[in-house]
Amino acid sequence: MRQLFLGITFIVAAFFCVAVMSAFGKAASNVSTATISFFQSFVSLLVFLPWTLRHGLKDLKTTQLPLHVARALAGLLSQVFYFWAVKEMTLIDAVLLVNAAPLFIPIIALVWNRTPITPAVGVSLLVGFVGVVLIIKPGEELFTNPSALIALSAALFSAIALVSVNKLSGHNQPDTILFYYFFIASLATLPFAIAGWSEPTAAEWGYLLGVGVFMAAAQLLIILAYQHASASQIAPFNYSVVIFSGLIGWAVWHNTLGWISAVGIVLVCAGGILSILLAPEAKHCHGILPVHGHGRGKDAPTAAVLPSTG
């Protein structure tokens, strides 16, 4: 019981960090998305580098570099789309749509691995996608402000990244996968960050540092969580990020929820949790976007996100 309590505590703390990281990204609305994404990856790389190199360079050896690149690019696209969307949406809606990634994982697994979708999983996906429709509110406004569709695209790329981590985890240590993700993402975003660079204000420097530090903290806490409890026990607590994001959005930006959005949130969370528990691929993908992290769970080859998402 103590191990389960620790696992739940760590995973809730991790997704509190995700919510705070997301709030920093939204607060940095005048900073380019490429710059935010670069600092998220580069600061996290610096934080994790001593841990990755604690045994020397041997942990960096891999025979799956192309898959590392594919996973990193999918996760990076998820993060870019997410930070793009969160500037234009309420924090809770953006976080909720990105955390719809579990709804896409069975579909990605069907296409990529030929893993069939069971009737029970199909029902969970239907429930979740009905909630998505309530959140994005299809109509003419989507053509003038497509931020909801951009956030949903972030969820799709997060799902691709998470399925990729499943394939990597059997042959790579968690710190190896984290290193390649942060390293490749930093390299990929650096030219765009330089091209769109403008000197941040003192507050914006703080936001950029916060995005990176809280991303790294979330990754670490997710790894610790899955060392103490199994996926089926704690994966549903990923959605605590929705509660934290709603509270932060209300306290900082005075965001409120309409009843249609509230119903949509409940349905997306229910569909996502059910898909995590029922789908073979989804239950092994922990740390749903915007965290593209991973650790090793007791009943899964990898505990993947952080979404990034992904």
List Cβ neighbours of 165 (8 Å cut-off, separation of 6 or more). 71, 177, 285, 292, 294, 302, 304, 305
State the residue range of the domain holding 162. 2-304
pLDDT tens digits, one per residue of 142-188: 777 899 999 999 999 999 998 888 888 778 877 888 899 999 999 99
d(CA 68, CA 71): 5
3-state secondary structure 236-266: HHHHHHHHHHHHHHHHHHCCCCCHHHHHHHH
Q: Which tops the pLDDT comparison, 164 or 304?
A: 164
How many domains in the chain? 1
42, part of any domain: yes
pLDDT at 127: 96
Under DSSP, the state recorded for 32 is -
What is the separation of C-alpha 81 from the centre of its chain, rounded to a whole number of angstroms?
A: 11
For 220, other C-beta atoms within 10 Å of its C-beta total 21
User: Is the residue at 26 inside a domain?
Assistant: yes
Q: How far apart are CA 53 and CA 172, in angstroms?
A: 14
Segment (H or E) for 154? helix 147-169
DSSP state of 295: E
pLDDT tens digits, residue range 252-283?
Answer: 999 998 899 999 999 999 998 888 888 766 65
Taking the C-alpha atoms of residue 27 and residue 19, their distance in angstroms, rounded to an integer, is 12
> With 0-12 CB in 10 A as exposed, 13-18 as middle and 19+ as buried, what is 247?
middle
Question: What is residue 42's three-state secondary structure?
Answer: helix
Distance CA 292, CA 301 (A): 15
**What is d(CA 147, CA 169) in angstroms, rounded to the nearest whole number?**
33
Domain presence at residue 309: no
39-58: per-residue pLDDT in tens?
999 999 999 898 888 888 88
**Stated pTM of the model:** 0.88
CA distance 37 to 79: 7
User: What's the whole-number mean pLDDT along residues 243-253?
Assistant: 96
Tokens read off for 221: 């806490």
133's tokens: 């429709």
| Alpha helices (runs of H) in 53-146, residue ranges in sequence order | 65-86, 91-98, 101-113, 119-136, 141-144
Residue 11: the pLDDT is 92
Residue 310 lies in a domain: no
Q: Return the H-helix or E-strand segment holding 19.
A: helix 2-27
Domain assignment present for residue 227? The answer is yes
**How far is 283 from 106, CA to CA, in rounded Å?**
10
Report yes or no on 197 lying in a domain: yes
Per-residue pLDDT tens digits for 86-126 = 999 999 999 999 989 889 999 998 999 888 999 999 999 99
Q: What percent of the chain has pLDDT over 70?
A: 90
Amino acid at 189: T
Nearest alpha carbon to residue 125 among 109, 112, 146: 109
Q: Is residue 271 part of a domain?
A: yes
